């Protein structure tokens, strides 16, 4: 079965939400290779969860965005969103697959996403759903099916960074505004079922968009996106389907792996066995060319020691 690639981005303060989204994805989808873009999530978390995805034919990749090139010190006027929202710009630098699904962490998956993964993007850079069911501006960037091959070939990351450098102080929705500026005429509209922005309930009520409450919730949309500050994990929230988020949040990983085992999926856990071990002792945090060595020698285990 073909493996599909998914990217999440966030920091350790958002680990509950990341893991909830991940559990919901894995409950309904096997053979997913998941990249977590982060700067501070401990390796122990990845060590604990990676075998679970491997049992389902997938994998979990820890993408540490460290270094001055990943500071992402751009202004963002949405207080419930932090700088890691800009991490999606760097997908071509870390993800090797030609097509990738980016997902925000404030959502849950409720269905098999194979039809979404297999969507033909044609000559477009991505597919995305309209912001707030058409009541917003452009598309919502919380669910993006990305032509990563096209992004790499056309240096999209550099274009996004340069555009953000120029415009970040003048836009209202951070990276979402930037993505809309660059791709406004080159994306495919997604059906709302793949980014049902249930978190807009409070905004819809406030601004008189009553039509949103007439959109059927049965069958349940494939992706429920709890955007806005009105989150289901808050002590109090007014949006619908709060209980769905809590269902996946409280779900045990054993429930997920057992479901796939009963379906005949029980892959062995990959055990890392290096062909060589190298040790280096350094007096500086700046170990020249270590990134090149690690990428060029993936089967070599490096121990780096320093005086402390």
Q: Express each pLDDT in 98-131 by its tens digit.
A: 999 999 999 999 999 999 999 999 999 999 999 9
Label residue 282 by pLDDT band (50, 70, 90).
confident
Which range has the top average pLDDT, 134-143, 164-173, 201-210, 277-286? 134-143
Across 132-147, b (16+ Cβ under 10 Å) vs e yields bbebbebbbbbbbbbb
4-17 pLDDT, tens digit per residue, is: 999 999 999 999 99
pLDDT of residue 207: 76
Q: What percent of the chain has pLDDT over 70?
A: 93
Q: Cis (ω within 30 of 0) for the bond into 219?
A: yes
Helix (H) or strand (E) holding 224: strand 223-225
User: Could you tell me if 282 and 244 lie in one domain?
Assistant: no
Same domain assignment for residues 118 and 171: yes
- Do 239 and 283 reside in the same domain of the chain? no
Q: Which helix or strand (DSSP H or E) is residue 23 part of? A: helix 15-28
pLDDT value, residue 75 = 60
Are both 252 and 302 inside the same structural domain? no
Q: State the virtual CA torsion across 103, 108, 114, 115 in degrees, nearest 10.
A: -90
**CB neighbours of residue 215 within 10 Å:** 11
- If asked whether residues 188 and 292 sit together in one domain, one would say no
Please tell me whether residues 71 and 185 are part of one structural domain.
yes
Q: Is 205 exposed, middle or buried (0-12, 13-18, 19+ CB in 10 A)?
A: middle
Average pLDDT in the chain: 90
Q: Are 183 and 211 within one domain?
A: yes
pLDDT band at 206 (very low <50, low <70, confident <90, very high): confident
Residue 109's beta-bridge partner residues? Answer: 223
User: Which of 42, 188, 44, 24 is CA-nearest to residue 34?
Assistant: 24
Give yes or no: residues 184 and 38 share one domain.
yes
pLDDT of residue 298: 74
Number of folded domains in the chain?
2
What is the domain extent for residue 294?
276-306
Residue 201 binned pLDDT confidence (cut-offs 50, 70, 90): confident
Q: Judge whether residue 230 has pLDDT over 90.
A: yes
What CATH number corresponds to the domain at position 136? Answer: 3.90.550.10
Q: What is the mean pLDDT of residues 193-197?
A: 96
Q: What is the rounded distance in angstroms from the CA atom of residue 4 to the CA atom of residue 53? A: 12
Residue 138 shares a structural domain with residue 184 = yes
Q: Which helix (H) or strand (E) holds 187?
A: strand 187-189
Secondary structure of the chain: what % helix, strand, coil (to 5)? Answer: 40, 20, 40
pLDDT at 308 over 70: no
- pTM, two decimals, is 0.86
If pLDDT is split at 50, 70 and 90, which confidence band does 77 have?
Answer: low
Across 26-154, the runs of DSSP E, i.e. the strands, are 32-38, 59-64, 99-103, 107-109, 126-128, 143-147
Structural domain contains residue 256: yes
CA distance 117 to 201: 27
Cβ neighbours of 266 (radius 10 Å): 13
Q: Is residue 271 part of a domain?
A: no
Question: For 19-60, what is each residue's pLDDT tens digit?
Answer: 999 999 999 999 999 999 999 999 999 999 999 999 999 999
């Amino acid at each position: 079965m073909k493996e599909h690639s998914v990217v999440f981005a966030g920091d350790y303060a958002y680990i509950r939400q990341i893991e909830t989204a991940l559990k919901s994805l894995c409950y309904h989808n096997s053979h997913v290779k998941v990249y977590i873009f982060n700067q501070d999530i401990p390796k122990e978390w990845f060590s604990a969860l990676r075998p679970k995805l491997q049992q389902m034919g997938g994998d979990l990749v820890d993408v540490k965005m460290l270094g001055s090139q990943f500071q992402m010190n751009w202004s963002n006027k949405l207080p419930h969103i932090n700088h890691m929202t800009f991490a999606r710009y760097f997908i071509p630098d870390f993800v090797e697959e030609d097509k990738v699904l980016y997902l925000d962490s404030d959502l849950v998956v409720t269905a098999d996403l194979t039809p979404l993964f297999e969507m033909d993007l044609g000559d477009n850079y991505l597919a995305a759903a309209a912001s707030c069911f058409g009541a917003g501006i452009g598309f919502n960037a919380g669910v993006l099916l990305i032509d990563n091959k096209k992004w790499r070939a056309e240096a999209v990351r550099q274009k996004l960074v340069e555009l953000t450098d120029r415009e970040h102080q003048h836009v209202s929705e951070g990276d979402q505004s930037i993505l809309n500026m660059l791709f406004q005429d080159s994306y495919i509209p997604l059906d709302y079922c793949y980014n049902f922005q249930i978190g807009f309930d409070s905004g819809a009520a406030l601004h008189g968009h009553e039509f949103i409450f007439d959109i059927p919730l049965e069958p349940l949309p494939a992706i429920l996106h709890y955007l806005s500050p009105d989150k289901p994990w808050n002590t109090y929230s007014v949006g619908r389907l709060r209980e769905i988020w809590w269902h996946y949040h409280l779900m045990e990983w054993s429930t997920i792996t057992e479901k796939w085992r009963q379906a005949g999926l029980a892959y062995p856990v990959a055990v890392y066995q290096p062909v060589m071990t190298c040790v280096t002792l350094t007096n500086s945090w700046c170990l020249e060319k270590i990134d090149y060595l690690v990428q060029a020698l993936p089967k070599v285990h490096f121990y780096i020691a320093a005086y402390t």
